[in-house]
Amino acid sequence: MTSSNTDTSVVVIGAGQAGLSVSYYLRRLGLDPGNDFVVLDRGPATGGAWQLRWEALRIGSAHKINDLPGLDSLGLSFETADRHAPAKEVVAEYYKQYEEFYGFQVVRPADVVAVENFGTDLKVTFSDGEEERDVSTITVVNATGTWGAPFIPWYPGLKSFEGRHIHTNDYVAASDYAGQSIIVVGGGTSAIGFLLELENVASELTWVSRRPIDFLEDGEMNLEARVEAVRAQDEAARAGRALPSIVSGTGVPRTRRIQAGIERGVLTPRPMFASIEPGGVRWADGAFQKADAIIWSTGFRPELRHLAPLKLREKEGGVVVAQGASWKDPRIFFAGYGPQASTIGANRAGRMIARQVIATLSKLQAAR
């Protein structure tokens, strides 16, 4: 199906859950990996954003990781994966075997810096760490996720802080904060994971959250079951608004580990502070807490900077996306965006987007 006018028919940007899911279905629908479609991935190795997560994170303590479509053909499943090994290692190994089994020939490291018009087609420019290269294509599936776009909310005095600002994607190990006074900001499972890891390491530990924590009684977060959260994400995507927080709509599972932390008094959040000072933070009532570091577990934003030349972003801050496709440019598809953010959502979207890509290719090539 590759057009004689372009290097390939589809470029998939990102080889995480969403990108690999789309790739699987493109292959099933008859496209040849490395010829009809090309997968570009910024990471140094397999595993998507998981390869960059902190060492102590385990599959049993993370959000549920759903299997990639067709993973069972390899005799693998995250349901039976090693719960004692670092999640980053398990996911990276499973993804490595998956890519090899299906012959995806992922190009990495390939950091996409721009997607722009190339006549009636598209040109994707990426860096391999030494030089920039181009690949021309008819369509693009953006599956970059959010890990590369961390979000830290602004508070008065943010830049005056003399300690360290750490975001979730900068966190490596609890031992880095031994004997220090630490403030953890955030209301999701990552923030809670940091607090439990730092409990007997930091000299002082303070948890603050911008909203009350909704602890769920069912012990496991299932994004697909949280209909309102999915609806809010979809509504924002269709309207081109910035996407709302997933945690605010889904809550936090009250697992045995988390319940024990609540009972020990470790997981007792304070309201959000009002300002930041050189030596710590201050609440509106005047209370002060000194800090050596503030860990911001405040989420991410979709990574879309490389799409800027296409002018897809709305003044409301987002991109208009419905059923995984851009309304402004039918050649651009979004996998793992908005309501697809859960791993099971990404899998379902992979099938839908692959079918739409095939239909769009047929339409565009027929018009040539």
Task: Calculate mean pLDDT across residues 25-40.
Answer: 97
For residues 115 and 212, membership in a common domain is answered with no
For residues 56 and 104, membership in a common domain is answered with yes
Instruction: Give pLDDT, residue 340.
Output: 47
For residues 162 and 287, membership in a common domain is answered with yes
Structural domain that includes position 23: 10-148+300-366
For residues 14 and 136, membership in a common domain is answered with yes
Domain boundary among 237, 270, 296: 296
Residue 231 lies in a domain: no
Instruction: Summarize pLDDT for 63-86 with one digit per residue, the tens.
Output: 667 899 999 999 999 888 888 888
Task: List the structure tokens of 132.
Answer: 């920039």
Domain boundary among 264, 296, 328: 296
For residues 267 and 321, membership in a common domain is answered with no
Where does the pLDDT of residue 126 fall: very low under 50, low under 70, confident under 90, or very high at 90 and above?
Answer: very high
Residue 105 lies in a domain: yes
Please count the structural domains in the chain: 2
Q: In the chain, where do the E strands start and end?
A: 10-13, 37-40, 111-118, 121-127, 132-137, 139-142, 164-167, 181-185, 204-209, 215-216, 252-253, 270-271, 275-277, 280-282, 288-290, 293-296, 321-322, 325-326, 332-334
**Residue 88 belongs to domain with CATH number:** 3.50.50.60
Number of H helices, E strands in the chain: 7, 19
Where does the pLDDT of residue 205 fall: very low under 50, low under 70, confident under 90, or very high at 90 and above?
Answer: very high
Residue 66 lies in a domain: yes
Residue 232 lies in a domain: no
Task: Output the pTM of the full model.
Answer: 0.74
